[in-house]
Structure 1
């Protein structure tokens, strides 16, 4: 009887987890990811330096995730690409990758990422990692055992649909005996490390692997640990929007996003497509913010401060905030200049990201665009000049539900612009944006 009661409790606990995981990220996750600056070669010292900076300068503004991106298990990877010629993998007896000790010294002795996670948690922050979908090719070659079973990884894998751009993994076949147990073993280990966030790559585009998404969801829920799930890359197929919203906390809407205007401009159309699929705890993800000092050892380009103009950086942050995309900063935080830091620490802009509702586009043409959102007693208006010359971007205040004189404040400068009725038409720089708060005049 006691055994039945205990099993019922476990089942109920897992069911509650499955129902409530969207609460783990009720607002868009905000953090740092190592990819844009260090590619597949980030070291423990660099991760700690970014965590130290976040704790000192950003934590009080809501930034709290520190994420180690791709191939942390390869001892001899290279900048500006991947070493697929003679990679030195670090893997345990059950086919689970472990951190490369030469890059993450605290992982020595089989400790994995727990010491680094403990360090990040001691700063009041959360720890995340990137993984690739599937089972390692090296594990299949060795036909290792699946932890907790009498099965081996050759019982669960397929070479079909292998990732086209990195060949570390094979597909795990849903429904095969041992498949769920393999993913369970991964997330048991990650939970023991203290993981708070996982970005799973080659999962959602160009093929959407619904079966593996569901296995990952079950494996996370089974641990009882609140691990936020981010799927990658993009664009996630719209046909699977309902499924990914049901199973993940965030999912990519584009491929890898870098610091050029063409890619930034494309987000206006992409975000319109995905706007209806947002809900608390489930966020379409416009990808990382390629701001600050990037390209240090990254996939694309040489070390640089982001090539975006200041106006383009305002556009990026304004659009991400009004759309409520997750914010994962891509630059090396200790190299931030005062302007970059100011983009990340504007409390009123971040309030739009975290508190606003009813977020929607108002209009878009070849020269300009507008979005709106609200809080009780407040209207927000984001205006964008996507043309090549300075111009006014007019909007009728009645179109956003303001039928009385409204006091308008520029959220980027903090300046009260005055009381307006009828139309509001600020001048905006080329590729620039304005973000405004409107309250009824007293």
Structure 2
């Protein structure tokens, strides 16, 4: 045995990890990776590699098992011969109609060494939408008197779908593509019937436009935000590509209508008159906004009350009026107002009370509400302060209830389960609690200039169902954070379930709260406008849990129907006893 001592730390000697001497066997160079791929048919690529010079042989066994029934769906066995650094790839196709687990096991023929790994397979619970037209949005929209109306009716079905209305109020226009526009100058409650028709049939919706002083945000906003995929590398081209994908993939047909640019759009210096332009990544902000409005979509922008934003770009400090006016000129419909460098102002003034938090948000609110258009006002997170306690006082339309989210179970469970519990009293129509953006699909946070910097969310499929279930039951903003252009059918199924989204958009506007925590099971519930209740049953533990769902429904009334919202089917008595996988959930609508 020869031990070589070398200078590893820069000043002589051995540093960092403890010294380890070992004699590697040929099998020690073996490794196996599993990659989920959705190019063409859904499949897993199983790659086995040998890093050592000695060639080895072995057997790869792959099984796909239905997690609900325990039955084997598919199995295969392959003999592999592995030369140095020449990985062998085996492709295993799968269907997404069942909740399945893939297990790959490689056994080295000479040493018996075993490599084994299991992965949850993606599964789609949402049934396909019918070819006939179907309205998928809340039948209400609110504006202030004199503010422009911009609303796209969310309707799925075989294209093209043509829209019409025989009793449209004066001052409004409806295009054949379903874009409602116009202006109503006086407070009013206006109801009218909209018809959507295609080659397969037609559907109607009784729609209400509420015009009044406090009508912005009748339901939580749904749309897309650039941060989780592009970070500071966002560009006008990327925004337009995501917008077109939102339309082409049908997300706009389910109510996703806000296209929000996060940090990174601001020019490095203000103009002599104090106004702020966009930087070179956005050659025409007004042109971009007009392009969105023509499609019935709304535009959101980002700023902060300090001198700089979280990403180091120019903030609004001292220029709140100028910024509100230029946003109105561009046609902005949504403002995410962050915090970040305003902490320097508090330190300079040696004022750390709630009043010092409220002051900059009240100032921006003043100038936003002076503009002749509605701008949804979203208040960002603050270090150590509780925005939900005073967000309503600042006329915020939503406010963050926790720090930034990331795509891990630890973050989801903390931001979701821990920090949303007990906060339902602070949420109301037009003023929503916001646990942060969605972290499904491909994200990257701007770590790469292009799509190569994006990766699949680290959440398992079960965790993603839990994520969407919890966010919708607590009436959260539903802002997609991934690259929509690369969105797969699994993610579309998560985001485009009309019965699940209807809970988030329910007209009663009552956020759910936790009503039971028993071991690893949490039950969250909220009342709905039609007299039913929505119930989310969550397994937050690390093992599968058998539950009697009927016993967990928080009501003494006998249920007439118990509906599985994800599968969109009424459950039989035998289906109420089930197993919820670790980090998984069941989502119910209970009618009495």
TM-score bracket, normalised by the shorter chain, equals 0.7 to 0.9
- Do 1:205 and 1:232's aligned partners in 2 also have CA atoms closer than 8 Å? no
Decide whether aligned partners of structure 1 residues 199 and 21 sit closer, same or farther in structure 2, where only a CA change above 3 A counts: farther
Q: Which residue of 2 aligns with 1:80?
A: none
Structure 1 residues without counterparts, runs of 5 or longer: 1-8, 75-88, 108-112, 137-162, 173-178
Structure 1 CA distance for aligned equivalents of residues 552 and 536 of structure 2 = 15
Q: What is the aligned counterpart of 2:429 among 258, 271, 280?
A: 280
- The structure with the greater share of residues assigned to strand is 2
- Do 2:222 and 2:257's aligned partners in 1 also have CA atoms closer than 8 Å? yes
Q: What is the aligned counterpart of 1:332 among 477, 480, 483?
A: 483
- Number of residues paired by the alignment? 367
Decide whether aligned partners of structure 1 residues 235 and 439 sit closer, same or farther in structure 2, where only a CA change above 3 A counts: farther
Q: Which residue of 2 aligns with 1:389?
A: 543
Structure 2 residues without counterparts, runs of 5 or longer: 1-145, 147-183, 188-210, 344-351
1:50 partnered with 2:211: no
1:187 partnered with 2:336: no
1:431 partnered with 2:579: no
- Do 1:204 and 1:232's aligned partners in 2 also have CA atoms closer than 8 Å? no
Structure 2 CA distance for aligned equivalents of residues 21 and 392 of structure 1 = 49
Give SS of 1:95's match: coil
Decide whether aligned partners of structure 1 residues 358 and 185 sit closer, same or farther in structure 2, where only a CA change above 3 A counts: closer
- The structure with the greater share of residues assigned to helix is 1
- CA RMSD across the alignment: 3.0
How far does residue 425 in structure 1 lie from its aligned partner after superposition?
A: 4.4
Q: Which residue of 2 aligns with 1:37?
A: 229
> Who wins on radius of gyration, i.e. which is larger?
2
Q: What is the aligned counterpart of 2:257 among 41, 64, 77?
A: 64
Give SS of 2:422's match: helix
Give SS of 1:23's match: coil
Structure 1 CA distance for aligned equivalents of residues 251 and 341 of structure 2 = 30
Q: What is the aligned counterpart of 2:515 among 362, 374, 399?
A: 362
Give SS of 1:99's match: coil
Decide whether aligned partners of structure 1 residues 204 and 343 sit closer, same or farther in structure 2, where only a CA change above 3 A counts: farther
Equivalences for 1:18-417 in 2 at 5 Å? 22-56=214-248, 57-74=250-267, 89-101=268-280, 103-105=281-283, 107=284, 113-135=285-307, 166-168=311-313, 172=317, 182-202=319-339, 209-234=357-382, 237-238=385-386, 240-246=387-393, 247-266=395-414, 267-295=416-444, 297-298=446-447, 302-355=453-506, 357=510, 359-375=512-528, 376-394=530-548, 400-417=554-571
Structure 2 CA distance for aligned equivalents of residues 236 and 347 of structure 1 = 36
Decide whether aligned partners of structure 1 residues 409 and 399 sit closer, same or farther in structure 2, where only a CA change above 3 A counts: closer
Structure 2 CA distance for aligned equivalents of residues 418 and 393 of structure 1 = 15
Give SS of 1:273's match: coil
How far does residue 379 in structure 1 lie from its aligned partner after superposition?
A: 2.1
Give SS of 1:25's match: coil
Per-residue deviation, residues 395-420 of structure 1 (Å, max 9, x unmatched): 55586225224322211112321158
Give SS of 2:337's match: strand
TM-score (normalised: structure 2):
0.57
Query: Looking at both structures, which has the greater relative contact order when contacts are Cα pairs under 8 Å and sequence separation is at least 6?
Result: 1
